[in-house]
Amino acid sequence: MRSDLILAIDQGTTNSKAVLIDAEGKILRKSTEPVGISYPEPGWVEQDPQEIFASVLKAAAHCIAEERGRIAAIGIANQRESIVAWHAVTGEPLGPAITWQCRRTADFCEKLSAKGQGPMLLEKTGLPIDPLFPSSKARWLMRHIKENRPQLDQADIRLGTIDSWLLHCLTRGAVHACDQSNAARTQLFDIRKGQWDSDLLALFDVPRETLPEVRPSNARFGAVDPGIAALAGLEVQALIGDSHAALFAQGANEPGMVKATYGTGSSIMTPLAEFVLPKDGIATTIAWALGTKRTYALEGNIAVSASSFPWAAELMGLAGDPARLAELAAQASDTKGVYFVPALTGLGAPHWDSEARGLFAGMTFNTGRPELARAVLESVPYQVGDVVRAMARQAGRPFRELLADGGASANDWLMRFQADILGLPVARAGLAEASALGAGLIAGIGAGLWPDERATAALMGERQRLMPVMAEDRRHMLITGWRAAVARARLRP
């Protein structure tokens, strides 16, 4: 039997997906399992590491069915900036999975900024100081472990992003590794030298021996342990952050291309040939590493994107259903001057203001529920527009179009409004599984199904293009109103 299929896993914030990909890059089968989230204190966001792994196994088992013998390799994309600590021998989690949305380390990050550490961190990691990144969360976890498990030696502790945790579980502790794209998001990794940095480890008080070995994204990471029956013996051939994987799936491997992933949060990325010191609230990261070739990217992270939809739907008595929120929004021809700034966990790129708070601005007695619902939906294209414009300034040239993927990109009205606010065509990929597909394509390169990224880019089908139709003066007026609303949401200038 030929090994001509790839099992791709996308472990996300709210669910874990598994898809089966054939040699033409087509998705043959898919399965999804939900993952719970807890909020133990204001601004704290946690998940259960064991539940995350269980959801991955369940989705994968449902997906592979009778095709088990044809699977050449496994590729894994993962929610980024979330971090787990576990016992090196038993695999027992030593704390919660602290997610990328968690703001528990905001005070510590403020102190780092006040001490002038920002330029050094930007120079080494390409990332600004913010609780989003795992460095300060790793520090919190190490202190939590010392307080609650003082008998443990550092050699007993493993720290890693979600890709490392899943790899540990799949190999039953035989491998402690991650890929360069995930290491680049920790703020503990010098992305130009391609190694953990001793100065950064000292700054965040993270022992080097707790961290994983860093490998290329298409490395041979290890075989699944025989004790995991459904996947036993299958080779993990790719690890990559979910937003990076979506960029790869889009075939966006050349400078001048830009994509936005519309999910719980949003990631806007454009590839770079080499490291560029970022500015204007944009970060630089490693997009992926294939063998010895490393591709960089500019990125802007939006913390609250489509995750505001169920929240708003619950507030408006719509049982938390985003589809009902969209139906309500469709009743309004415009927002009548109302803006929603979804700074529910602070603002990410390009503002990086952890003290900002969400608000509705511009309400009058003429404001109704449809206008509020529409303002919530419009907040996503406004945020993406801010980031794309900042990226274009840094790149020194405008983009020709925006490549779109992710669950919320399926909303026609939302993507048309995005095109209007940007004044650019939006080219929609037409698949909600871009992150899983990207991980699968990289695994396929590693397994020999495809020779390189040019071959996988050629597998991308036709995109639907939505053209801007809004007049320039109206676009300018709307963006001016949005910027004024953002200024109100910020508690500091």
Looking up residue 347, the CATH number of its domain turns out to be: 3.30.420.40
CA distances from 232 to 12, 176, 179, 217, 236 (A): 23, 18, 22, 21, 11
Q: Do residue 236 and residue 307 come from a single domain?
A: no
Q: In sequence order, what are the beta bridge partners of 270?
A: 298
pTM: 0.89
Beta-sheet strands, E only, within 415-454: 426-428
For residue 444, is it within any domain?
A: no
Q: Do residue 482 and residue 379 come from a single domain?
A: yes
* Mean pLDDT within 211-240: 95
Query: Looking at the 3D structure of the chain, how many domains does it have?
Result: 2
Mark which of 210, 245, 280 sits at the end of a domain.
Answer: 245
* Mean pLDDT within 266-285: 90
For residue 449, is it within any domain?
A: no
Distance (Å, rounded) from C-alpha 288 to C-alpha 299? 13
Q: Contact, 103 vs 146, CB < 8 A?
A: no
For residue 51, is it within any domain?
A: yes
For residue 450, is it within any domain?
A: no
Q: Do residue 117 and residue 95 come from a single domain?
A: yes
Which residues are within 8 A (CB) of 174 and not within 5 positions of it... i.e. 6 or more apart? 222, 225
For residue 439, is it within any domain?
A: no
In percent, how much of the chain has pLDDT > 70?
A: 98
Mark which of 212, 245, 278 sits at the end of a domain.
Answer: 245
For residue 452, is it within any domain?
A: no
Q: Do residue 212 and residue 278 come from a single domain?
A: no
Distance (Å, rounded) from C-alpha 282 to C-alpha 115? 21
Mark which of 245, 268, 298 sits at the end of a domain.
Answer: 245
Q: Do residue 347 and residue 277 come from a single domain?
A: yes
Q: Do residue 142 and residue 206 come from a single domain?
A: yes
Confidence class for position 42, pLDDT limits 50, 70, 90: confident
Beta-sheet strands, E only, within 264-394: 266-272, 283-290, 293-302, 339-341, 359-361
Q: Contact, 305 vs 265, CB < 8 A?
A: yes
Confidence class for position 493, pLDDT limits 50, 70, 90: low
Q: Do residue 232 and residue 361 come from a single domain?
A: no
Q: Do residue 339 and residue 303 come from a single domain?
A: yes
For residue 451, is it within any domain?
A: no
Residue 318 lies in domain: 251-428+462-493
Q: Do residue 265 and residue 198 come from a single domain?
A: no
Q: Do residue 150 and residue 237 come from a single domain?
A: yes
For residue 381, is it within any domain?
A: yes
- Give the CA dihedral 110, 116, 119, 125, nearest 10 degrees: -50
Confidence class for position 456, pLDDT limits 50, 70, 90: confident
